[in-house]
Amino acid sequence: MRVLVVEDDRLIADMVTRGLRRHHFAVDTAYDGDEAALSLTVNDYDVVVLDRDLPGRSGDDLAADLVASGARTRILMLTAAGGLHDRVEGLNLGADDYLAKPFEYLELVARVQALGRRSAPSVPPILEKAGVVLDPSRRTVTRDGRPLDLSPKEFSVLRLLLMADGAALSVEEILERAWDAHADPFTSAVRVTMSRLRAKLGDPPLIRTVPGAGYVL
């Protein structure tokens, strides 16, 4: 799941970004409205954690533009004002959820996770194919009943392959969904992660390289 954190208080923004990454989200950060607008133009996000009061373009304008674009991106709006009027106003602007500062970090994570599930097309709660069973909520994977110890990136890549349901995923698509904006498009990270994932899945091999197209499970 890819998330954009838009917050001008760098301490809060960096804290939220680090915390979400610990929960295996791919997270980008913008410290003002103009930077956020650029990120939203060039990247697809499942969830935007959006402060209302921003330098440059306001959070309200960003939310309205995002809704008008028809994107599936869900908006969790943050504000220092927690009154009923402010919550209603934020939701009327197109926010999917609203959280007043100060907030409990675990509540923010739970809300981002819930919004992320709503942003994506409906998928089975447990993904299964060719003897592989992946449970996103428990973050467990087995093959033919054998537990697999996967790193967060290996888990994310395997989940993407299972969700593709037999379609090939390009390196660019995998980078977009499992890494963040700082990932070098020429990096070997996907190839290395795929090699390790293949080794952990064992024989017979399940992941196939499709020349010119990417990887398919």
pLDDT per residue over 172-214, tens digit each? 888 877 876 566 656 788 889 999 999 999 999 999 999 888 8
The answer on 137 and 65 residing in a single domain is: no
Out of 119, 141, 164, a domain closes at 119
Predicted pLDDT of residue 122:
46
H-helix segments, 95-188? 105-119, 152-164, 171-178
The answer on 211 and 138 residing in a single domain is: yes
The answer on 210 and 156 residing in a single domain is: yes
The answer on 210 and 138 residing in a single domain is: yes
The answer on 32 and 114 residing in a single domain is: yes
Q: State the DSSP code for 55.
A: S
The answer on 73 and 12 residing in a single domain is: yes
Q: pTM of this prediction? A: 0.61
Give me 159's structure tokens.
């989940």
Out of 119, 153, 178, a domain closes at 119
Q: What is the mean pLDDT of residues 114-119?
A: 77
The answer on 196 and 100 residing in a single domain is: no
Q: What is the mean pLDDT of residues 115-133?
A: 75
pLDDT bin (cut points 50, 70, 90) of residue 127 is: confident
In this structure, what CATH number is given to the domain that contains residue 83?
3.40.50.2300
Average pLDDT, the chain: 85
Give me 111's structure tokens.
């809300």
The answer on 96 and 8 residing in a single domain is: yes
pLDDT bin (cut points 50, 70, 90) of residue 149 is: very high
In this structure, what CATH number is given to the domain that contains residue 144?
1.10.10.10
Higher pLDDT, 97 or 121: 97
Give me 88's structure tokens.
């209603």
- Structure confidence by residue, pLDDT tens digits, 8-63: 999 999 999 988 888 878 889 999 999 999 999 888 888 999 998 899 998 989 99
Predicted pLDDT of residue 86:
62
Predicted pLDDT of residue 82:
55
Higher pLDDT, 158 or 189: 158
Predicted pLDDT of residue 177:
79
Phi, psi at residue 65, to the nearest 5°?
-65, -40
The answer on 114 and 11 residing in a single domain is: yes
Range of the domain at 57: 2-119
Predicted pLDDT of residue 185:
58
The answer on 153 and 137 residing in a single domain is: yes
The answer on 136 and 45 residing in a single domain is: no
191 CB-side CA count, 13 A: 5
Please say if the pLDDT value at position 125 is more than 90.
no
Give me 201's structure tokens.
């899945």
Predicted pLDDT of residue 87:
61
The answer on 86 and 143 residing in a single domain is: no
Q: What is the mean pLDDT of residues 120-127?
A: 63
Q: Are strands 140-143 and 132-135 parallel, antiparallel or unpaired?
A: antiparallel
Out of 73, 95, 119, a domain closes at 119
Q: Do residues 32 and 39 lie in contact, with contact meaning Cβ atoms separated by under 8 Å?
A: no
Q: How many domains are there within the chain?
A: 2
Phi, psi at residue 59, to the nearest 5°?
-60, -35
% of the chain with per-residue pLDDT over 90 = 38
